[in-house]
Amino acid sequence: MGGSTVLLALDGIAPGSVLDAQLVRICEHLAADGHDVVRAGTDDDALALVQSRADLTAALVSWDLQAPDGDRESPAEAVLKALVGRFTRLPVFLVTTSTSVDDLPLWVSEVICGYVWLLEDTPGFIAGRIGVAARRYRDEILPPFFRELRRFDDTHEYSWHTPAHAGGVAFLKSPVGRALFDYYGERLFRTDLSISVAELGSLFEHTGPIGDAERNAARIFGADLTYFVLHGDSTGDRIALHASIATDELVLVDRNCHKAIYHGLTLTGGRPVYLVPTRNGYGLMGPIPPAALGREAVGDLVPRSPLAAAAAAPEPVYAVITNSTYDGLCYDAVRVAELLGASVPRLHLDEAWFAYARFHPLYARRYGMAVDGDAVPDAVRPTVFSTQSTHKLLAAMSQSAMLHVKNSPRSPVEHRQFNETFMMHATTSPLYPMIAGLDVAAGMMDGPGGRWLVDEAVTEAIRFRQAVARIGRRIAAAGDRPAWFFGTWQPDEVGDPRTGQRYPFADAPLDLLRTEPACWSLEPGAAWHGFPGLEAGYCLLDPVKVSVTCPGTDAAGTVAEQGIPARILTAYLETRRIVVEKTDAYTCLILFSMGITKGKWGTLIDGLLDFKALYDTGACLADVLPALVEAHPARYGDLTLRDLCDQMHAHLRKSDLIPLLDAAFTHPPRPELTPAQTYQRLLRGGTEPVRLAELAHRTVATQVVTTPPGIPVLMPGENAGGHDEPTLRYLRALEDFDRHFPGFPSETHGVTRGTDGDYWITCLRVP
C-alpha cells in the first residue's frame, strides 16, 4: 500500500518496557502490510507531522500525550483538532490507559473511530484494525473519476483504440519516443485513453464517472451545475457567452476583461457596452464603482453607446465582471448581483484567479456561487456563471478549468440547450489525466482540507507582507544606510472590529489578519488604495495576491524625486531565478498559491535586500544585469544600477506614463463597429497596417492589449481618436519608452514593431 503513513503520537513508553515491545511488534505488522510508521513523542512533534505530512492514512493518539514543558492544558486535544482540521474522515484511534471512556469530551468521542488498549489485543489484531481503516480511508477519499480511472488502469487491458501510442508502447519503438516515455513514466500513457472506454463515462454526455465527478465538483463549489473545461478558462468564458447571447443583443462588459470575453462577443455578435473601472496612482486597475452598476446608471449608459442604436432590444441581456482582478481586488459578489440583477437576467463573474474563494471565511459573499436565493431575492437575482481557471491557483494541470452555474428562476440554464454550446467548444479527444486532475482538485477542497490549504496560503502571504514591512521599519530606524526599502500594497493600519483596537499593519496579530475581512476592505476614501467612489465592504484586497511596491510613486499618484522602476527590479530577480507574475511601472505582482513555502518567500526577501545593497553601493550595471549590458553595450555599458534607475524614473516622470495610462483606460474610445462586424472585415482582407504616428481617427481591426496592465486599450471596431487624445498619447509614450530603454520592451499584443522602433497596428481600410 504505497504512500500510506500511520502516525503514532505516543509518549511515556520506556524503551525495553512491555508496552515498548508491544508497540514494536505492532509497527512490524504495519510495515509488513505496506505502511510507513512515523512516531511523535510530544504534541509539538505530532503537530509538526500533521502540518507536513499529507500522506497520513491513520493515526494513533495517546490521551496521555504530554507537552514538552508540561503546561499545555490538553495536548491530545490539540493534536486531535489539528488532525480533524486538516483531514476529512481520517481514521483516528485513541490510545488510553483508562478503563473507562465516559469522562472524555463528547467531541473527542465523535471524531475518533475507535479505541486502542495496547496490551489487551494481539499486535497483529491491532495492526490489522489500523490497516483496514487506512485502506478504507484511501479508497473513500478518492473522488469519483480518479477512483475509477485507477481501477481501470489496474486491470491492465490491451488497448485496441486511440490514441495510437497504445498505452505508451509505440514510444518504446523509437529512441526519441523512449526518451519521452522514460521522462514521464508509463502511468501517464496508460491513462491517456479514448472516449471508447465507456465505463469511464462521457465528457459530452456528462455520464458515468465523468458526470459523477462534475456533480461532485458542483457540490464542493456550491454550484447547481459544473462543467469541466479542458481548454482553459478562456474557453469557459467563450462557452458562457456563446450559450447566452444572440446576435445584436446588448452586453454589459467590464473594461477590465480578458481577451476571451472579446472572442465570445465576436462569436455571438453581441454588442458591448463597457463598464469602466477606476485606477490609482500606481496604475493598478480598481473596481467599477457601485454607483455605475445600478439600474438608473445602466439605463443612462446604454443609450449613449453608439452600438445600442441597432441592437436587437434596448435592454442588455448579460453582464461580465472580472472578479477578482489581476491585482487581487474582489467584489462583494452578492452586492454586485443585487445592483446588476435589476438590469440583466444573467451575470458572468470571470473568476479565473479566484477558484479558492469559497473555502475561506475571508472571502464570504465575494464569489459567484455565493449568490443564491438566501442572499438575493429571486425577483432580482440573476443566473450566475462563474468561470474558474482551476490550474492557476488550485492544484490542477495547465489548461484545466471549470464553469459553474447558479440558476435563478428568471433565466435558468437548461442543461440540454447549454450542452449544445459546450460541445461546440469541447474536444472529442479529451485527455483523461486532465479530467482526473480536475476531479482531484475538487476533492482536495472538500471538507476541512480545503480550508486548511487556503488558510496556509493566506497565512504565508501575510507573514511575507509583515516581514517586508518590519524590515523596512528596521532599515529606516538603523540610520546606517539609505532609509528606503520596498513595500507591499495593503492598509498601513488595521483594526479589530470586536475590540476597536488599531494596529500598524506590521504589528497586527496574525490571527486577526488571517480571519478578519475588515482588515483587507477598501474603505471609502482610504489613502492607501487610492480608488474613488467606493462604499463600505464593497471591495476587498485578496491577501494572497501581493503587489510589491517600489519607491517612485504612491497610490495617490504623488511622484517622488527618487524612484526604482519595477521593470529593473524584476529583471534583477530573474537573474536570481525568481520570476514574478506581472510587472507594472512601480509594482510587481507575486502569487501565494497553495505551493508556497517559507523558503520560497524568504528567497524573495533576500533578493530584495540584495538589490537594495547593490543600488546603495553603486554597483556597475554590468555586474548586476550582465546579459542586458552584453546585448546593448553602447546604451548601458558605463552605467551603475542607480544610474539606470534614475534615468528610467526621470523618463517615466517626464512622459507622464501613469497619468496617461489612467486617462486611456478610464476614457474608452468610441466604437464604430461590433467585434463581430470587425472580424468579418478582417477575414475578407479589409484591413491594413498603420503606423502609430498616423493612427488618429482610424478604426482598429484587432485588440491592442498593453502589458502592464494586460487589459485591452483598444477593442476591435473602436476608433483610436484624435492625435492628442488619451489613447494615442499613451501608446506613443510606450513607443518612446521602448526606444529609450532597449531590453525593457513593453509587451503589447496587437502591435508590430518596425526595425526603426515604430509601432504598427492593423486597421480597417478606409473606403
User: Per-residue pLDDT tens for 187-239?
Assistant: 999 898 888 788 899 999 999 999 999 999 999 999 999 999 999 999 999 99
The predicted-structure confidence for 753-763, as pLDDT tens digits, reads as follows 998 999 999 99
Write the CA distances from 151 to 142, 154, 241, 430, integer angstroms: 11, 5, 37, 19
CA atoms within 13 A on the CB side of 170: 10
In whole angstroms, give the CA distance from residue 668 to residue 719. 10
Mean of pLDDT values over 360-375:
97
Question: Pairing relation of β-strands 383-388 and 346-350?
Answer: parallel
Residue 1: what pLDDT? 44
Kindly write down the DSSP assignment for every residue of 303-352, as one continuous string. HHSGGGTT-SSSS--EEEEESS-TTSEEE-HHHHHHHHTTT-SEEEEE-T
In whole angstroms, give the CA distance from residue 724 to residue 727. 8
Residue 7: what pLDDT? 95
Mean of pLDDT values over 533-557:
96
Residue 254: what pLDDT? 96
Residue among 186, 133, 194, 127 at smallest CA distance from 159: 194
pLDDT-based confidence at residue 182 (cuts at 50, 70, 90): very high
Neighbours of 286 (CB within 10 A): 23
pLDDT-based confidence at residue 99 (cuts at 50, 70, 90): low
Write the CA distances from 458 to 192, 512, 542, integer angstroms: 35, 12, 9
pLDDT: is 2 or 354 the higher one? 354
Helix or strand (DSSP H, E) at 753: strand 751-753
pLDDT: is 387 or 105 the higher one? 387
Cell of 35: 505502511
Alpha-carbon radius of gyration of the chain: 29
pLDDT for residue 105 is more than 90: no
Cell of 598: 517559507
CB 680 within 8 A of CB 699: no
The predicted-structure confidence for 479-526, as pLDDT tens digits, reads as follows 899 999 999 999 999 999 999 999 999 999 999 999 999 999 999 999
Residue among 329, 417, 335, 414 at smallest CA distance from 368: 335
Residue among 204, 730, 616, 164 at smallest CA distance from 415: 204
pLDDT-based confidence at residue 263 (cuts at 50, 70, 90): very high
Cell of 38: 512515523
Is the backbone peptide bond immediately before 316 cis, with ω within 30 degrees of 0?
A: no
pLDDT-based confidence at residue 388 (cuts at 50, 70, 90): very high
CB 552 within 8 A of CB 559: yes
Q: pLDDT over 90 for what percent of the chain?
A: 80
Residue 711: what pLDDT? 77
The predicted-structure confidence for 46-96, as pLDDT tens digits, reads as follows 999 999 899 999 999 998 876 555 555 688 899 999 999 999 899 999 988
In whole angstroms, give the CA distance from residue 612 to residue 565. 13
Backbone angles phi, psi at 2, to 5 degrees: -60, 145
Largest Cα span, the chain? 97
Residues shown for the chain: 767
Residue 349 pairs with which residues in a beta bridge? Answer: 321, 386
Residue among 98, 80, 99 at smallest CA distance from 90: 80
Residue among 391, 738, 404 at smallest CA distance from 593: 391
pLDDT for residue 100 is more than 60: no
Query: Who's near 457: CB < 8 A, 6+ residues apart?
Result: 356, 544, 592, 593, 594, 596
Question: In sequence order, what E strands does 175-304 have?
Answer: 225-229, 250-254, 271-275
Q: Which DSSP symbol is given to 193? A: -
Cell of 594: 497553495
The predicted-structure confidence for 428-444, as pLDDT tens digits, reads as follows 899 999 999 999 999 99
pLDDT for residue 688 is more than 50: yes
| Amino acid letter, 21 | A
Mean pLDDT of the chain: 93
In whole angstroms, give the CA distance from residue 493 to residue 529. 12
pLDDT for residue 159 is more than 80: no
pLDDT for residue 42 is more than 80: yes
Neighbours of 166 (CB within 10 A): 16
pLDDT for residue 707 is more than 80: no
Mean of pLDDT values over 13-26:
88
Cell of 225: 451545475
Of 159-163, 385-389, 743-747, give the range with the top mean pLDDT: 385-389
In whole angstroms, give the CA distance from residue 629 to residue 639. 9
Question: Pairing relation of β-strands 718-719 and 711-714?
Answer: unpaired
Residue 205: what pLDDT? 94
Residue among 212, 186, 180, 217 at smallest CA distance from 199: 212
In whole angstroms, give the CA distance from residue 335 to residue 332. 5
Residue 383 pairs with which residues in a beta bridge? Answer: 346
Is 106 exposed, middle or buried, given 0-12, 13-18 or 19+ CB atoms closer than 10 A?
exposed
Domains (range + CATH), the chain: 5-141 (3.40.50.2300), 160-195 (no CATH), 201-445 (3.40.640.10), 450-650 (3.90.1150.10), 657-764 (3.90.100.10)
Cell of 226: 459544473
Q: Which DSSP symbol is given to 173? A: G
pLDDT-based confidence at residue 653 (cuts at 50, 70, 90): very high
